[in-house]
A and B are shown apart, each in its own frame.
Chain A
């Protein structure tokens, strides 16, 4: 298969970026999207042009490193992450637009790479259960009903890839924050810090320049881990309750 590519090139965070045209020729329909870019990069290197910088690591759809907007859609066509897009999804001769995940809170690094360390800062603000190593009680001493454990797992499946932010018209990180607040908040172990967690994570998110949620549901539609936007309602309830308790100093 052959493709025309329009790829965002940007030398570094300071430089201005622009789309540049490339061609990808003789690509197998069984090749992955990133393998197609690997082939293009091999060709660029041979011709003395700087290869296109893009992030990827596990290429199994779980690490959350890959982060391309393909034809205007974060992670491109189909479910899953960018690395799980296969060329059979496109038609021979297609023109494909390739851009980075764009958001104020995800500054550009180079070409298709952005800096998502804001997500780490949000987790650092409270996305954990403090359990000092060695102080844990016997695991089965705290039964968790299966449906609760399953819900927690659904929220915990978040990859931290940032597609929800890239897809949101307001660049909100609500789905990311809601996933972690819900995962830990569903579990009995997570109750002690439930209020402070919601308050600190939401405040950190606001501080880092992510926008507000306006119920567009683009995040849910795009999420490669299929994290449900209903967790956002849960976050809103937790945040409201925690704020009220804070105001009343209880």
Chain B
């Protein structure tokens, strides 16, 4: 068993004093400013062009900073934010159903199972109002009512309708809004874009983040860029599980490289398993497809009451069906939060009541909704999702219930940041899914888009000045030896990957790692399983560096090489995820430790011992050090989450 050194270091989260409602306003009032004539003197690097990265790069460019924005995709418009379907939350209370900033704040804290910072979440709820205004002004075509006003729908874990949406393509439309703002900034010369360019290391100068090492994915050229500050908006690490709803290219490399340079990684075990995905069909499968959570507004989740019931769903009478979410959680029913819906699906399948060829699936049935509203209304609400489902499964969900099963979808953990979204490395800022800050142990639906845009449009453009104001006149050149040595490290690593010429493909390793993690660190975790994983991961890593086969050379477009670098990092990161999971001896949100559950099988938190952020510090000599940031709740009373 690994011994964890608990560091005595304390983390300063820089949360402003004063009442919750006034913190952000007070902080902005007290923050340093960079004058307009000084802004062009600062070079900023933004890595990632999703909602957080594109909105930050566009806004910082607009403010007058010199911005360089990097993405591995062929265009910034293709970042994975584009795949978000359901919507974006905002406490506008347009439906007059009792919503407020405080209620959005409270729902998010509760949904996250009381493992996020009050001050950050309250700020997010406040900013949500401005996000909608901003996006509408950019021309995001949100759904509207006949009178021309904005429409809303409800989402899991809440009892108000506060979700704004653009058909089932909300992420696409919000990202295109941010992308267009970014392209406008590029046209004015304030942002320079580097597509098909991957960040492979962070450069520190005197302990400050002052640059990055990148590889041009077309030519293979490795180079460096210097800046006054570095912003990472590189998304989450869900692909560590191999099968997930993430895009194929999503990876942990940027944040992991930063971790190995000293940035703290917080709560890596907090991963979200989304309840409504299309079940796995075979071993060749490369990724899983999400069906938006909004479907749970009209779909009813059920399995047969009897184990191994072989009948087709239309042959199973009402009294032989178990609408288990409605039965167990009468007040939230099918709209319980994601972690609860997922865990319950796993439970009924483990009991042998799962449906479909693999037995790992539950029904999401629209028959009642179609009877009530008509097929055309359901088609209008979810048409594209039903088409996508039919295309993949060859089944018509208007006639027969969908089959769904949980899949890895989002990661709440990420690099530790303070209230300014700066990590413990001065100058290194982290936004969106890449940071750990706002969702605690479970993210509510339609909150990821909100956080990405809040961080990018509104938070970092204001808070980064607190750092930059201390850096005026301290320009760093790429001639500094730190750049050369970081670049050499990257070159050596690429050469090493290409020289192994073993017997297994990169995908072989990725798939094996994914299966292990899904089994031991997925929807249910226990000490024994995690210890097994912690033993196996280093063995896999060892084998990878002995036996992986990466063909071709480094000076060309080489997709296997790109993949190999990312999997090498996942093979290291996976160990930290399992270690964090083992150390958190409680259940909370998406982190379900089998040893810690209530009599009813719900997550049992241990607030006396685990009401903290677990921030891990890289230790080149051995096991990482654990630094705890206590979470203080002044406005919300910690309680057992109940959705019954």
Interface residue ranges, A against B (CB under 8 Å): 11-12, 27-28, 30-32, 34-35, 38-39, 42, 45-46, 48-51, 53, 55-65, 78-80, 84, 86, 88, 109-110, 113, 115-117, 119-120, 123-125, 127-140, 142-146, 149, 152-153, 156-157, 160, 183-184, 187, 189-190
Contacts and interface: CB of A to CB of B under 8 A. Distances in A.
A189 B62 CA distance: 19
Interface string B174-200: 001001110110110000010100000
Given A117-B75, A136-B137, A46 B505 contact: yes
Nearest to B388: A61
Contacts of B461: 133
Given A34-B286, A80-B391, A59 B248 contact: yes
A128 B179 CA distance: 9
A140 B92 CA distance: 10
B75 A120 contact: yes
A42 B286 CA distance: 12
A137 B136 CA distance: 9
B180 A127 contact: yes
Nearest to B505: A45
A139 B133 contact: yes
B285 interface: yes
Contact of B75 (A131, A146, A160): A160
Given A65-B78, A120-B183, A128 B138 contact: yes
Nearest to B84: A62
Contact of B284 (A31, A57, A142): A31
Across the A-B interface, the 8 shortest Cβ-Cβ residue pairs:
A143-B148, A128-B180, A136-B137, A131-B137, A136-B133, A153-B141, A139-B136, A57-B247
A61 B83 CA distance: 9
Contact of A109 (B137, B169, B218, B290): B218
B25 interface: no
A190 to B, nearest CB: 5
B458 A153 contact: no
A59 B286 contact: yes
Given A45-B551, A46-B505, A110-B557, A184 B139 contact: yes
A77 B58 CA distance: 38
B499 to A, nearest CB: 15
A49 B507 CA distance: 16
Contact of B560 (A51, A61, A86, A140): A51
A60 B249 CA distance: 13
Contact of A63 (B247, B507, B557): B247
Contacts, number: 213
B556 A156 contact: no
Given A42-B507, A139-B136, A115 B74 contact: yes
A110 B166 contact: no
- Residue among A88, A116, A125, A132 facing the most chain B CB atoms (10 A cut-off): A132
B80 interface: yes
A125 to B, nearest CB: 7
B284 A35 contact: yes
Contacts of A137: 133, 137
B507 to A, nearest CB: 6
B167 interface: yes
Contacts of A62: 82-83, 169, 171-172
A51 B559 contact: yes
B60 to A, nearest CB: 10
A179 to B, nearest CB: 11
Interface in B358-388: 387-388
B243 to A, nearest CB: 11
Contact of B144 (A50, A117, A136, A149): A149
B130 interface: yes
Contacts of A153: 141, 143, 166-167, 173
A28 B282 CA distance: 8
Nearest to A46: B505
Contacts of B281: 28, 30
A30 B505 contact: no
Given A42-B505, A130-B184, A152-B139, A119 B75 contact: yes
B344 interface: no
B150 interface: yes
A58 B388 CA distance: 13
A133 B145 contact: no
B134 interface: yes
B114 interface: no
B75 A58 contact: no
Question: Which of B248, B394, B458, B507 has the most chain A CB atoms inside 10 A of its CB?
Answer: B248
A116 B92 CA distance: 39
A240 B57 CA distance: 35
A60 B290 contact: yes
A127 B551 contact: no
